[in-house]
């Protein structure tokens, strides 16, 4: 069987030798390096870097080749990009850092790499969510474990306004725009293992409500996840905390978490194709609300923006 990877690399090398430009970009500002990473052509990517391809150039969404390496779990390439000067703190158009984007995915090794290279676990995106929110929303149990145990270098800032606890670990009780903790994100999306881990980690209360006026127990009942509800009840009983009797709507439809769909930027629940509303300004035109949040009066942060059906 021919070595297609080697043949592909030799072909690219020949084209470059014949004068082909490595700086050409597509309409969306993707470079050859972006395409190589997206398609898993690692040897071609290495060749392009050797020939001077930029590792810091961004596409129209603010994504560098590093983002694609992280997205696809290419640890070797991610490390190479960082060594070549890629910015691990770069902000994309949605306001996400590479660590926040990586925390949504299953590639724990790239998350470890970013933290080892100095990526901050305390930086918040434009919606106020940190990497812990992202990992909790997406049910990434190993990433949540790592983030909860990471000691941050900003320990001297551990005061009332800091996202850190006194010992330098990230404070899991920090909230986003909608006054929701990472525990709310995990409960809403039915990630029982993450819920159990966050409860065991301490430093987070199960009392009170989010910005929608709903408790964790309401969300557990709303999503119909009995295991999550059981964990909350058991924790409340051990802590002597009240268990609110706030039943969810009887006509509420269970919404299973789906990594492949978009999600509501307010409540974080998955949104099916053709449902919900979008703001064409916020989040670089990628701010979505589910029907339930929209009907409940939730909007983007700028009341002058008009939301349209997705």
Q: What is the pLDDT of residues 63-120, one digit of tens each?
A: 899 998 998 899 999 999 999 999 999 988 888 899 999 999 889 999 999 999 999 8
Q: What is the pLDDT of residues 199-218, one digit of tens each?
A: 999 888 899 999 999 999 99
Instruction: State whether residue 172 is helix, strand or coil.
Output: coil
According to DSSP, the β-strands at 307-309 and 287-289 are: unpaired
Token pair 């812990």: residue: 132
Among residues 60, 70, 141, 74, the alpha carbon closest in space to that of 100 is found at 70
Q: Could you give the number of structural domains in the chain?
A: 3
CATH of the domain at 68: 1.25.40.20
pTM of the model: 0.85
Read out DSSP for 89-140?
T---TTS--HHHHHHTSS-HHHHHHHHHTT--SS---TTS--HHHHHHHTT-
The answer, yes or no, to whether residue 277 has pLDDT greater than 90, is yes
Q: Looking at the structure, do residues 220 and 310 belong to the same domain, yes or no?
A: no
Q: What is the pLDDT of residues 152-211, one digit of tens each?
A: 654 444 443 456 565 567 888 889 989 999 999 999 999 999 999 999 998 888 999 999
Torsion of CA 142, 73, 187, 127, to 10 degrees: 120
According to DSSP, the β-strands at 277-279 and 287-289 are: antiparallel
- Is residue 97 a part of any domain in this protein? no
Q: Looking at the structure, do residues 287 and 242 belong to the same domain, yes or no?
A: no
- Is residue 102 a part of any domain in this protein? no
For residue 228, CA distances in Å to 125, 144, 187, 222, 223 come to: 27, 17, 7, 11, 9
d(CA 70, CA 65): 9
| Residue 276 CB partners (closer than 8 Å, separation 6+) | 262, 264, 288, 289, 290, 291, 294, 309, 310
Contact between 29 and 60 under an 8 Å Cβ cutoff? The reply is yes
Q: Looking at the structure, do residues 57 and 4 belong to the same domain, yes or no?
A: yes
Q: Looking at the structure, do residues 122 and 203 belong to the same domain, yes or no?
A: yes
Q: Which domain holds residue 302?
A: 259-310
Among residues 165, 173, 177, 182, the alpha carbon closest in space to that of 212 is found at 177
């Amino acid at each position: 069987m021919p070595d297609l990877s080697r043949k592909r690399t030799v072909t690219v090398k020949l084209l470059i030798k014949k004068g082909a430009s490595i700086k050409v970009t597509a309409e969306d500002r993707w470079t050859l390096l972006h395409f190589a990473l997206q398609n898993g052509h690692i040897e071609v990517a290495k060749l392009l870097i050797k020939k001077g391809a930029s590792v810091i150039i961004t596409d129209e969404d603010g994504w560098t080749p590093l983002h694609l390496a992280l997205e696809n779990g290419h640890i070797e390439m991610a490390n190479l990009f960082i060594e070549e000067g890629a910015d691990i703190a770069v902000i994309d158009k949605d306001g996400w850092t590479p660590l926040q984007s990586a925390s949504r995915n299953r590639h724990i090794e790239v998350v470890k790499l970013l933290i080892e290279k100095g990526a901050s676990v305390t930086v918040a995106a434009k919606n106020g969510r940190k990497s812990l929110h992202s990992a909790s929303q997406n049910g990434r149990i190993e990433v949540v474990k790592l983030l909860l145990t990471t000691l941050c270098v900003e320990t001297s800032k551990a005061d009332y306004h800091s996202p850190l606890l006194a010992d330098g670990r990230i404070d899991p009780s920090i909230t986003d725009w909608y006054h929701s903790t990472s525990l709310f994100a995990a409960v809403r999306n039915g990630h029982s293992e993450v819920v159990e881990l966050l409860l065991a980690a301490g430093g987070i209360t199960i009392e009170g409500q989010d910005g929608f006026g709903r408790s964790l127990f309401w969300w557990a009942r709303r999503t119909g996840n009995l295991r999550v509800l059981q964990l909350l009840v058991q924790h409340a009983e051990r802590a002597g905390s009240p268990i609110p009797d706030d039943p969810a709507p009887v006509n509420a439809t269970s919404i299973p978490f789906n990594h492949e769909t978009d999600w509501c930027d307010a409540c974080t629940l998955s949104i099916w194709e053709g449902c919900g509303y979008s703001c064409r300004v916020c989040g670089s035109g990628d701010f979505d609300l589910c029907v339930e949040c929209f009907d409940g009066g939730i909007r983007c942060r700028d009341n002058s923006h008009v939301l349209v059906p997705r």
